[in-house]
């Protein structure tokens, strides 16, 4: 039985296709300005990889910031439900999911049965979201994708004193003018975002195992900094790219409908 | 005769005021440089030139603002809050609540009848509700800060922004521009968003009449008029001097009281 999950975020769109309980194809694309078009594109890409057609899909669930605009879904679900579902399916030992998306950050607590017990999210302030790193990468003239690798070369510890994206951007510019090394600044930025997200997670009580999902989870620097910020190890999601977790959860919820 | 000075080195602008016998002889507002010491020197020099006197003739000088510890020519430093309280009291003697919006911060200060600070709150953590918010938005709209201030009276239908965060509001503006909203509606919406954020801060010190506004943003008519509506109070306009020099003025007034109390250089 073929089902699909589609997660249209602010920066990327993701699709996961399942055959019963097995992942058969996934796709990630950069989201355009129109969520419906991004959704169509990413689904078709995943279908192509699976060698299937749209008519093969029995049920599809949409999630993410553009979920209301996806044309082909049978139902839309909250990102919180999808992230919890996806992470628990990948690793039943998970009790906390920390997801940093392009426009928000969430911390979700789940019980041993995979039910959501508590969650919190920040979408009011850009600090502590993927947008923070995006703006900083821009200010520094580096690729967002390269930040994790660059930070590994850091030798000097720099702490960014401003939380606000606008003020931190100015701080970064003056650090560059002070001839601080880009790798050290980037490492400082990773700790800044991680600490912000860690305090969000701590506000609902941290429990292990902790996994990190979302595009920012691919950045090893933030990943390590988050473990430090929480004072507890953060685990990598097994079975799937952390960026696809929301779409996977959507597909799993689709499976429950058929 | 007592000739004194005050110097306020802010993150975006630096200000100096020269006073003699409770009258302003000269003042300056300059764009801050990367080195606070240079900013202070330059602001002071400009004010001295306008006053037609030299640094030697200044009997006492107080420094304030974020760069105050780097000013070379002062006798002592005072907190911004104390200086703004004194400065506002001189500008508007009936003032009990002062809302000061600077380039990178926002303060609400409550003073007693002598200008002594009773209660205050500062936001310098978040760009929203500070001059920086307006600066970023004016840039996106491609208009000057002065023009932005005029937008509120030009429309009856300001946009309501969903988010107060400077980053998200910036993204929203681009969407509104692309959907064909007028610059007036967007600009007035920006002023309203700013006023709402500032009101949140001001309400925490329990506003008492009279209210006055200082700092560079006090020159933005749109923010002031919207803030009056949101707070439900009249805001006394500062007319005796440029509202942006309130901090430096307060520093000069503190200098003056030092001289009058027998202290000298």
Digit-coded pLDDT (tens) for A17-48:
999 999 999 999 999 888 999 999 999 999 99
Give the per-residue pLDDT at B265.
43
> A30: phi > 0 → left, psi -120 to 50 → alpha, else beta; which?
beta
- Output the average pLDDT for chain A: 94
User: Which pLDDT band holds residue B19 (cuts at 50, 70, 90)?
Assistant: very high
DSSP label of A175: H
Q: What is the ipTM of this complex?
A: 0.86
Give the per-residue pLDDT at B195.
95
Q: Which of residues 155-174 of A touch B (CB under 8 A)?
A: 162-167, 174
Digit-coded pLDDT (tens) for B43-69:
999 999 999 999 999 999 999 998 999
* pLDDT greater than 90 at residue B249: yes
Query: How many Å lie between the alpha carbon of A200 and the closest alpha carbon of chain B?
Result: 17
Contact B125 A163 (CB under 8 A): yes
Query: How many Å lie between the alpha carbon of A207 and the closest alpha carbon of chain B?
Result: 30
Closest residue on chain A to B162 (Cα): A124
Give the per-residue pLDDT at B262.
66
Place of tokens 């911060």: B105
Q: CATH number of the domain at B95-237, please?
A: 3.30.420.40
Domain extents in chain B: 1-92+244-265, 95-237
Digit-coded pLDDT (tens) for A38-91:
999 999 999 999 999 999 999 999 999 889 899 999 999 999 999 999 999 999
Q: What percent of chain A has pLDDT over 70?
A: 100
Closest residue on chain A to B166 (Cα): A166
Digit-coded pLDDT (tens) for A104-136:
999 999 999 999 999 999 989 999 999 999 999
Give the per-residue pLDDT at B2.
87
User: Which pLDDT band holds residue B12 (cuts at 50, 70, 90)?
Assistant: confident
Section A207-220 average pLDDT: 93
* pLDDT greater than 70 at residue B161: yes
CATH topology of domain B1-92+244-265: Nucleotidyltransferase; domain 5 (3.30.420)
Q: What are phi and psi of B235, to 5 degrees?
A: -105, 120
Contact A124 B164 (CB under 8 A): yes
Instruction: Tell me the chain A residues in contact with residue B126 when contact means C-beta distances shorter than 8 Å.
Output: 125, 163-164
CATH topology of B1-92+244-265 equal to that of B95-237? yes
Digit-coded pLDDT (tens) for B214-230:
998 999 999 999 999 99
Q: Are B119 and B162 in contact (CB under 8 A)?
A: no
Cis omega before residue A150 (within 30°)? no
Query: How many Å lie between the alpha carbon of B164 and the closest alpha carbon of chain A?
Result: 7
Digit-coded pLDDT (tens) for A187-197:
999 999 999 99
Question: Chain A within 8 Å of B104 (Cβ-Cβ)?
Answer: yes
Which of A33, A163, A164 should we substitute to test contact with B (largest number of B Cβ atoms within 10 Å)? A164
Section B80-101 average pLDDT: 95
Secondary structure in 3-state letters for B13-26: EEEEEEEECCEEEE
Section B164-183 average pLDDT: 93
Section B124-151 average pLDDT: 94
Gyration radius of chain B over CA positions:
19
Contact B132 A166 (CB under 8 A): yes
Question: Chain A within 8 Å of B139 (Cβ-Cβ)?
Answer: no
Query: Can you list the domains of chain A with their CATH numbers?
Result: 1-91+238-258 (3.30.420.40), 93-236 (3.30.420.40)
Section B28-53 average pLDDT: 95
């Amino acid at each position: 039985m073929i089902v699909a999950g589609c997660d249209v975020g602010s920066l990327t769109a993701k699709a996961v296709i399942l055959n019963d309980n097995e992942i058969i194809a996934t796709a990630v694309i950069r989201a355009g300005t129109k969520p419906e078009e991004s959704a169509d594109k990413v689904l078709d890409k995943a279908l192509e990889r699976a060698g299937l057609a749209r008519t093969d899909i029995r049920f599809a669930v949409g999630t993410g910031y553009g979920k209301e605009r996806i044309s082909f879904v049978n139902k839309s679900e909250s990102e919180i439900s999808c992230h919890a579902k996806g992470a628990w399916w990948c690793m039943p030992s998970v009790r906390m999911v920390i997801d940093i998306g392009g426009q928000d950050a969430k911390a979700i607590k789940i019980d041993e049965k995979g039910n959501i017990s508590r969650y919190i999210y920040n979408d009011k302030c850009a600090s502590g979201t993927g947008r923070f790193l995006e703006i900083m990468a821009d200010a520094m003239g580096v690729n967002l994708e390269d930040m994790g690798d660059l930070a590994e070369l850091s030798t000097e510890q720099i702490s960014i004193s401003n939380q606000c994206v606008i003020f931190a951007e100015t701080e970064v510019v003056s650090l560059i003018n002070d001839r601080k090394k880009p790798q050290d600044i980037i490492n400082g930025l990773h700790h800044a975002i991680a600490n912000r997200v860690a305090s969000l997670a701590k506000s609902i009580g941290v429990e292990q195992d902790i996994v990190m999902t979302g595009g920012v989870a691919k950045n090893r620097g933030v990943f390590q900094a988050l473990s430090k910020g929480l004072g507890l190890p953060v685990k990598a999601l097994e079975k799937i790219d952390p960026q696809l977790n929301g779409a996977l959860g959507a597909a799993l919820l689709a499976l429950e409908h058929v | 005769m007592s000739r004194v000075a005050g110097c306020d080195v802010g993150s975006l602008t630096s200000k100096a005021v020269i006073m003699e016998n409770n009258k302003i002889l000269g003042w300056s507002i300059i764009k801050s440089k990367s080195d606070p010491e240079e900013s202070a020197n330059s602001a002071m020099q400009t004010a001295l030139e306008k006053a037609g006197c030299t640094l030697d003739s200044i009997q006492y000088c107080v420094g304030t603002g974020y760069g105050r510890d780097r000013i070379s020519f002062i006798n002592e430093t005072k907190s911004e809050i104390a200086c703004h309280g004194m400065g506002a009291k001189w500008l508007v003697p009936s003032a009990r609540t002062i809302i000061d919006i600077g380039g990178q911060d926002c303060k609400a200060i409550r003073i007693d009848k002598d200008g002594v600070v009773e209660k205050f709150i500062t936001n310098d953590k978040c760009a929203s509700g500070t001059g920086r918010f307006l600066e970023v938005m004016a840039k996106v709209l491609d208009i000057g800060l002065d023009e932005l201030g005029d937008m509120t009276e030009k429309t009856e239908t300001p946009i309501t922004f969903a988010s107060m965060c400077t980053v998200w509001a910036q993204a929203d503006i681009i969407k509104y521009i692309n959907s064909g909203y007028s610059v007036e509606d967007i600009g007035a919406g920006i002023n309203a968003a700013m006023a709402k954020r500032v009101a949140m801060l001001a309400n925490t010190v329990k506003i008492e009449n009279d209210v006055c506004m200082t700092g560079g943003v006090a020159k933005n008519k749109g923010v002031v008029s919207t803030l009056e509506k949101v707070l439900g109070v009249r805001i006394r306009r500062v007319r005796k001097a440029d509202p942006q020099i309130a901090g430096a003025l307060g520093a000069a007034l503190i200098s003056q009281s030092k001289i009058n109390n027998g202290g000298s250089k």
